[in-house]
A and B are shown apart, each in its own frame.
Chain A
Amino acid sequence: MPHDIENHSHSLLPSEPELKVKAIESALVNQGLIDPAALDEIIDTYQNKIGPKNGASIIAKAWIDQDFKDELMSNTMAVLEKYGFYGRQGEHIRVVENTPEVHNIVVCTLCSCYPWPLLGIPPTWYKSDEYRSRVVREPRKCLSEFGVKLPENTNIRVWDSTAEIRYLVLPMLPDAFKGFSEQELVGIVSRDAMIGTGLIGPAK
């Protein structure tokens, strides 16, 4: 049985996306199916409450506290739930650690899967055809477009998020940052480093 949905709704909706959303929202509100106040609440959540600072706080703690790191690596969900970093698109999270031997990069080639409770809504490049199509085949070339160059003998491991498992990269902490406080370290963890398309910059 072939499965192709006919384009039933398109011809009746405005083609301009902004107007299309408005039309859908109005229709759903008129029929009592969505509450505009709930939409505002969802937007506020992802605009202001959930973002890469969540992931950064976990990474910084893992860098300074070996016991916490061991627990995070082996019992990830229990640790994340304890810190309140659980929820939609983060029900099954794995942390993958960068080492001198292996550098990890996360992608979703099939759509845009991403650990929302830790990093928020994915950046536009993460959802782009360019990243999705190329990073599995030519990760080094892609990294160079982010200004990242790895040593020749570091192998790359690309994690394609094809199921409901979400991946967070634990970046390497350069020696120059040893001795920094947890609070200071939170500030140096970039979102891209937790996706694997960035490294932790040199201490200034």
Chain B
Amino acid sequence: MTRVHDMGGRYGDGKINPDLGKEDVFKAKWHARALAVTLASGSLKKWNLDMSRHARECLPPKEYATFSYYEKWISALANLLVEKGVINSDKFLDPSVNDHPLSNRKLKAADVSEVLGKGAPTSRKIERAPRFIVGQNVKTKRAENSFISGGHTRLPRYAEKSEGIIEICHGAHVFPDTHAHNLGEQPEHLYTVSFLSSELWQNPENPGDTVCVDIWESYLEPFDD
């Protein structure tokens, strides 16, 4: 079982509004602040990208469904700041000025361009050879974190227990299922797997269409026709 964010294939959502792409980059000033505060807080190094994704996914489904995009970001950020011990929840509205022990990690304006430009590559070198090769038939396992119940995972539910074909081997990448939970990077080989629409959906629009999903090795098992 996954969480509310895992909505691929879900029924009930209405039409897409392409006009929402014609707006300014930040529709409101607070959207820009929400993005910037979230990114800058990352420099405190108290969590990683997988943890921040998981914090958003852990918002209660009712909130996730009704919050706007950046509302999810800041609510998750507030939870992370408290959960990771950066700020006590009762300090959010405390105007007193303190020198926090982490303040030496504060992102300086002069370093922004370098930090954003450097990114955080997730590729890693590992000794273990890839288990699968391009063209091989594979089957996905259940879409669920196998270490932590309700934990972070990146296999969408619509693609669980489905047969597909290895399209691309990307080399090893940090494993989100452990990385999101302080269990280390545990890099694994990552693959792009293609699934025929007829494998994923009862009534596909076109049987020749495919969906490609990036999938870590331990989400897969070999499958022979």
Beta-carbon contact of B79 and A7 below 8 Å: yes
A89 CB-CB contact with B under 8 Å: yes
A53 within 8 A of B: no
A136 to B79, CA, bound (A): 31
* B-facing residues in A63-81 (Cβ within 8 Å): none
Asked if residues B205 and A139 are in contact (CB atoms below 8 Å), the reply is yes
Most A-side CB within 10 Å, residue of B100, B121, B208: B208
Bound Cα distance A53, B44 (Å): 32
| B146-172 contacts to A (CB < 8 Å) | 148-151, 154-156, 158-159, 168, 170
| Pick from A5, A39, A131: contact of B36, CB under 8 Å | A39
**Shortest distance in angstroms between A1's beta carbon and chain B's nearest beta carbon?**
6
A182 interface residue (CB < 8 Å to B): no
Is the beta-carbon distance between A92 and B18 smaller than 8 angstroms? no
Q: Report Cα–Cα, A138/B156, bound state, in Å.
A: 16
Chain A residue nearest to B99 in the complex (CB): A32
B38 to nearest A CB, angstroms?
9
Closest to A132 in B: B7
Evaluate whether A40 and B209 lie within 8 angstroms (CB atoms) in the complex, with A12-B92, A162-B215 already known.
Answer: no
Q: List the B side residues contacting A46 at CB < 8 Å.
A: 25-26, 32, 35
Are A133 and B154 touching (Cβ within 8 A)? no
The reply to whether A160 and B156 contact each other, CB–CB distance below 8 Å, is yes
B154 touches A146 (CB 8 A): no
Contact between chains at B16 and A23 (CB < 8 Å): no
Query: Chain B residues with Cβ under 8 A from A37's Cβ?
Result: 108-109
Contact of B79 (CB < 8 Å), options: A9, A92, A129, A140: A9
**Is the beta-carbon distance between A136 and B119 smaller than 8 angstroms?**
no
Contact between chains at A137 and B40 (CB < 8 Å): no
Q: From residue B109, how far is it (CB to closest CB) to chain A in Å?
A: 4
Closest to B180 in A: A3
Q: What is the number of residues of chain B that contact chain A, defined by CB distance less than 8 Å? A: 116
For A17, give its contact among B23, B37, B71 (CB under 8 Å). B71
CA A69 – CA B53 in complex, angstroms? 34
A141 CB–B CB distance under 8 Å: yes
Contacting residues of chain B (26-85) with chain A, CB-CB under 8 angstroms:
26-28, 30, 32-37, 39-41, 44, 53, 55-58, 60, 65, 67-71, 74-75, 77-79, 81-83
Which positions 1-48 of chain A face chain B at CB distance < 8 Å?
1-5, 7-10, 12-13, 17-18, 20-28, 30-35, 37-43, 45-47
Contact of B21 among A107, A125, A141 (CB under 8 A): A125
Which residue in B13, B25, B78 is a CB contact (below 8 Å) of A20? B78
State whether A87 touches B119 (Cβ < 8 A): yes
User: B53 is contacted by which of A1, A111, A125, A131 (Cβ under 8 Å)?
Assistant: A111
In the complex, the answer to whether A31 meets B36 with C-beta atoms within 8 Å is no
Residues of A with C-beta under 8 A to B23: 123-124
Which A residues have a C-beta under 8 Å from some C-beta of B? 1-5, 7-10, 12-13, 17-18, 20-28, 30-35, 37-43, 45-47, 51, 86-92, 94, 107, 109-112, 120-121, 123-134, 136-142, 145-147, 155-165, 191-192, 197
B residues within 8 Å of A by Cβ? Answer: 5-18, 20-21, 23, 25-28, 30, 32-37, 39-41, 44, 53, 55-58, 60, 65, 67-71, 74-75, 77-79, 81-83, 86-87, 89-100, 102-103, 105-109, 111-113, 115-123, 148-151, 154-156, 158-159, 168, 170, 173-174, 176, 181, 190, 192, 194, 200-201, 205-206, 208-216
A-B contact pairs, 15 of them (CB 8 A): A5-B83, A9-B89, A17-B30, A20-B75, A32-B97, A35-B107, A38-B109, A128-B16, A131-B16, A156-B206, A158-B209, A160-B212, A162-B155, A162-B215, A164-B173
CB-based closest 4 A-B pairs: A109-B8, A32-B103, A123-B21, A163-B214
